[in-house]
Structure 1
Amino acid sequence: MSDLTQWQPASLPDTRTLQGRFIRLEKLDVACHGDGLWKALEGPAADRRLWDYLFVGPFPERSGFDDYLAGLEGSTDPWFYTVVDQQTGAIDGFLSLMSIVPNAGRIEIGHVTFGASMQRTPKATEAVYLLAKESFSLGNRRLEWKCNANNARSKRAAERFGFSFEGTFRQHSVFRGQNRDTAWYSIIDSEWPAVQQAFETWLSVDNFRDGQQIRTLEQLRGN
């Protein structure tokens, strides 16, 4: 967006549920979602690598996990959503909108904490799509994705979702007693229509046969 004469500051996220085909995103509520999140993130089938690049966890005790979730529920920035399976009602994880700067039209998708049940599935892609769509619907001009520069899984995900790599902030923070370099990615509003179209085509019924994708997101974006 080069002409800002008509632009207004972005709106803030609210408690509306964001509906998708595979999942819905509900405002995180410990009373409603706590049991499901504990099972998805710390249960017997949980991904043991899940917490490797997160600033908290893992949680050996449920009480500590619930205290953590209570802090997430009460936060306004980050603003947390729980991922709920549309068919089964099972809870698969959470993620947030964060670094919310309405006057600049800037927002970030972060705290992506997906249980093993949704990793590398359409549910994960749809969760990011729904938050990206919401971000630009709120009037933001820029959507960010940041991760530890050593986190190959997160970097690959950002590229697959259509974020552009902008560079690495060296010695950006201290993570668990070690240096963290941070990789920065973004989608800006002029890029969003093409990225959105690729997401929606990829998520459509016609793009799957026997549960397998026919065309990748990269193919649909032409890169």
Structure 2
Amino acid sequence: MPLNHLNQPIGEPIVDFTRGELPNIQLIEGQYCCLQRLCVDRHFKDIYKFIGPDSPESQWTYLPISAQPNEQAAQQLLQEWANSADPYYLAIIDKASQKVVGIFSLMRIDPQNRTIEMGWVIYSNLLKHSRMATEAQYLAMQYVFDKLKYRRYEWKCDSLNQASFNAAKRLGFQFEGIFRRAAVYKERNRDTAWFSMLKEEWQRMKPKFERWLAADNFDDEGKQLRSLNDC
């Protein structure tokens, strides 16, 4: 550990550090899905199916909003999201059907320190527990670390949201702890679980994702032969 001239321990020096770029995504294409910047005109019809009144109530338990009651409210919300630079919303598109099957965002974007967070993850039933869902997260990570060259990628969730907690760990994020009484939403307390992935950890996870996503890792019914952690 380096010491300064006062013999105090200090952080490792970073050579030639510069401010990071902001996200600027038109299309990121994978094997099974692609990511596009959210566009109301192109994406509304598909998205309304999983954020409108017919969406599962359980989907909204750990989000600060609820299902949109009608098309007008949903259009207004999605237009706000499409206009937002932070969070920066992306549509997840199934390449086979060309339908939008989920959305998420890059948020709390900090180019000064090269950190960014994955958030506002809303999946349709067609995307949940699918290889597309994993690939979508992989494509976002790849963009953050390999294209933007950010140093730290974060994942946060309500500490009681076990599905999100498990997803973060499966995807290779490292648990950092619980921020107690960090927020109030829907008139209740939220203790927030913090996770992160550093660029060195991404380099170790990247080949695991690529091996897991390979076509020969799935049987004829689309079931995985090896888990992500075993790849």
In the superposition, the TM-score normalised over structure 1's length comes to: 0.94
Do structure 1's residue 154 and structure 2's residue 159 form an aligned pair? Answer: no
Mapped to 1, the partners of 2:199 and 2:33 lie a distance apart of 25
1:213 equivalent among 202, 224, 229: 224
Mapped to 2, the partners of 1:63 and 1:10 lie a distance apart of 37
1:119 equivalent among 108, 128, 140: 128
Counterpart residue type for residue 107 of structure 2: M
Cα deviation, residue 48, structure 1 = 3.1
Mapped to 2, the partners of 1:162 and 1:216 lie a distance apart of 12
CA contact (8 A) 1:207 1:214 kept: yes
Counterpart for residue 101 of structure 2:
92
For the aligned residues, what is the CA RMSD? 1.4
Counterpart for residue 50 of structure 1:
59
Residues 128-207 of structure 1 mapped to structure 2, 5 A cutoff: 128-137=137-146, 138-207=148-217
In the superposition, the TM-score normalised over structure 2's length comes to: 0.91
2:68 equivalent among 56, 59, 62: 59
Cα deviation, residue 24, structure 1 = 0.5
User: How high is the sequence identity, in percent, across the aligned residues?
Assistant: 34
CA contact (8 A) 1:47 1:116 kept: no
Where do 5+ consecutive residues of structure 1 fail to align? none
Cα deviation, residue 182, structure 1 = 0.2
Mapped to 2, the partners of 1:201 and 1:215 lie a distance apart of 9
Counterpart residue type for residue 178 of structure 1: R
Cα deviation, residue 17, structure 1 = 0.6
Mapped to 2, the partners of 1:153 and 1:193 lie a distance apart of 25
Counterpart residue type for residue 215 of structure 1: R
Where do 5+ consecutive residues of structure 2 fail to align? 1-10
1:83 equivalent among 92, 101, 106: 92
CA contact (8 A) 2:51 2:68 kept: no
| Partner SS for 1:111 | strand
Mapped to 2, the partners of 1:129 and 1:158 lie a distance apart of 12
CA contact (8 A) 1:33 1:91 kept: yes
Mapped to 1, the partners of 2:59 and 2:206 lie a distance apart of 28
CA contact (8 A) 1:41 1:93 kept: no
CA deviations 1:159-184 (Å, max 9, x no partner) are 11010100000000101111100000
Summarize the Cα distance change of 1:26–1:217 in structure 2 as closer, same or farther, 3 Å threshold: same
Counterpart residue type for residue 210 of structure 2: E
Q: Greater RCO between the two (CA within 8 Å, min separation 6)?
A: 1
Number of residues paired by the alignment? 219
